[in-house]
Chains A and B, each alone.
Chain A
Amino acid sequence: MAKQVIILGGLSAVAVATARLYAAQGATLAIAARREDELELLAADLRVRGAAAVTPFALDLATADPGADLPRMAAGLGGCDLILIAYGALTDQARGETDLGYAAEQLTTNFTSAAGWALAAANLLEAQGQGALVVLGSVAGDRGRRSNFIYGAAKAGLGVLIQGLAHRLAPTGARAVLIKPGFIDTPMTAHLAKGGPLWAQPEAIAKVIAKAATAGGPIIYAPSFWRLILLAIRLAPAGLFHRTRL
């Protein structure tokens, strides 16, 4: 069955992989991202790969108006089976601790603005009585750690919001799911040394997202082994945890 999909942050590596999965199935897509030239390139790519239609929306998602823009995107599609919130930024923790303007900006990108899109999406899906909101959180939101707690706090906040939306939507036929990936080999992590079993490819996360769009949740670790790792990390007593440099 052909699907209608909205992707916010379409140029993220995970979003590209997800969009291609749906394009190959003949889906109709609306894709929002801020770099217009690359957005057009992606739209053409998805059309060749089989998308029935692709509408690009060049937007800065941190400053756009979800209450107006999201219904506009959905109207163009004539309905919507999946809304994916994929954009985000990996916060430079050291900078954020001293440059408070930067920290606030990062919290806006990763939490405040994403929360706005999620609330708008929930209203839309609730009115439809079907469809899924899938949001990319992070395992970094499971416990505050000195190396990335500004980013982690935003993802944690987003997590509680999506959990609440899932609760609210439960009786309506619509759904909300938070995906918590571990390490993904994408431009976001280009500065890290990669390789080994903890690293996932964006294509693998895309499959988890597509599955989450039809069933499961409200919280899905991707890949699933991260659930156990994070359980251990959450349970570690502060006395012990504070002696690590994680």
Chain B
Amino acid sequence: MTLVFQPRDDVLSWGRAHRGRQSLGRPADASELRAWAAVDKGPRLARGLGRSYGDSGLHAEGRLIDMTCLDRFRSFDAMTGLLRAQAGLSLDTLLKVTAPQGWFVPVTPGTRHVTLGGAVAHDVHGKNHSWAGTFGRHVRALSLLRSDRGLIEITPQSDPELFAATVGGMGLTGLIVEVTLQLTAIASTDLVVETLPLGGLDDFFALNLQSLERFEQTVAWIDCAQRGSKLGLGVYTRANWATDGGCVAQGDRRGPSLPFEAPSFALNRVSLSLFNQAYRAVQLARPRRARLAYGDVFYPLDAVQNWNRLYGRSGFYQYQSVVPHQGGREALADMLRIIGRSGEGSPLVVLKTFGALASPGMLSFPRPGYTLALDFRNRGQATQALLARLDAVVRAAKGALYPAKDGRMPRDMFALSFPQAQRFLTYRDPACGSDFLTRMGL
């Protein structure tokens, strides 16, 4: 079989703001991928489940290799939790198999519909960064298919530099074919969750202080429509894995799907503010301490398929920044003030804390500080101008922006965020590129 590529206008990233033609091929298995790679040395980029928001997973000038059919488990040791699988395997499928046996991914993003390859390539983080660091810290080995070196196996010991370039390397060091990951033992598939009100930003810092050491998972939801004394109004959740109750498979509780793009007026200042008030009330109506299944704790958004269509035809941008602990409080307040005044912003505003555990990748985003993430529907120039005002705050605070969530960061913000970028580029696979890389002028 030879790999077929098709011109596609419907291959989008999660933010749906980047439109254009992509050439996509989906190898049926590793043999088909290797056979293609043996003859085609042209420009390419791996694609996972397309959950990155911006253009890091797109490549208009090359070929996109959809890795999702390379989804075989290779081995899993239920005694040690060591897993080897092909990189197109989704966390969703992985967890269906391992969670009932008492093993969970050590770090998970806010959706389980990402591939292992995508999780490595953006060195993703979860709500437990202070405890576990990033995803890449738990990767024990990778196999990489490069245009110049063929299929190679790398570990943090065997090739520390290429490994550090690949973790967080946005697919630019070659196609990740297999991943060896150390899972974490759990005694239950439930978590014990505490839900607490945040009256303002100060409450967040106070709660953080007493929670980070005692709770593995911590996150705050912020109502970005609030201003003045209510700036930072929200809900704080903190959770630990339950220590009893056993592990049970969690079925597909696939909820409704948004079948088409919502009209652009669906989200406005009024609906946003109403939604946020209702959301906070519902959260806080929950018992302060509750036992919840992991799906409800980590993946509430997965319950609505294609929720990204809510932002209409022009799509949206997510803006995720990190600002250092030092001076972070003022920077967060500044950003929230700018957002509150604009009346833009979205219902889904998340504030998390990054701890001291070092990130393993040259282009890893997490570093000690506070990370704020929220969506902005794409209203063209107005949105760009608003995000530029946020850039100014992040720049002044010596913070950074997250490429997985980006679609518009100016080049100087990238340089500021990733001082190792030039070193990284020496490990790039010469055939790999992306729309993000092109936009950064690299």
Contact = CB atoms under 8 A, between A and B. Distances in A.
A42 B72 contact: yes
B331 to A, nearest CB: 44
B285 interface: no
Interface size band for A: 10 to 19
Contacts of A38: 29-31
A44 B32 CA distance: 19
A18 to B, nearest CB: 15
B74 interface: yes
B26 A44 contact: no
B1 A187 contact: yes
B39 interface: no
A220 interface: no
Given A37-B31, A193-B6, A45 B26 contact: no
Interface string A27-62: 000000001011001101100111000000000000
B82 to A, nearest CB: 12
B6 A41 contact: no
A108 to B, nearest CB: 19
Contacts of A44: 72-75
B244 to A, nearest CB: 25
Contacts of A50: 97
A187 B29 CA distance: 10
Given A42-B72, A48-B76, A49-B97, A35 B31 contact: yes
B289 to A, nearest CB: 34
B10 interface: yes
Given A48-B97, A49-B97, A50-B97, A187 B28 contact: yes
A237 interface: no
B4 interface: yes
Given A11-B29, A35-B31, A49 B73 contact: yes
A114 B11 CA distance: 38
B419 to A, nearest CB: 41
Interface in B1-42: 1, 3-4, 6, 10, 26, 28-32
B26 A190 contact: yes
Contact of B72 (A35, A45, A193): A45
A171 interface: no
Contacts of B10: 195
A186 to B, nearest CB: 8
A126 B121 CA distance: 53
A243 interface: no
A178 B395 CA distance: 65
B227 to A, nearest CB: 44
Contacts of A41: 29-30, 72, 74
A28 B48 CA distance: 31
A37 B33 CA distance: 14
A45 B69 CA distance: 13
Nearest to A44: B74
B28 A13 contact: yes
20 contacts: A11-B29, A35-B31, A38-B29, A41-B30, A41-B72, A44-B73, A44-B75, A45-B72, A45-B74, A48-B74, A48-B97, A50-B97, A186-B28, A187-B1, A187-B26, A187-B28, A187-B32, A187-B69, A190-B3, A195-B10
Nearest 7 interchain pairs by C-beta: A48-B73, A45-B72, A187-B28, A190-B4, A48-B76, A45-B73, A41-B72
Interface of A: 11, 13, 35, 37-38, 41-42, 44-45, 48-50, 186-187, 190-191, 193, 195
Interface of B: 1, 3-4, 6, 10, 26, 28-32, 69, 72-76, 97
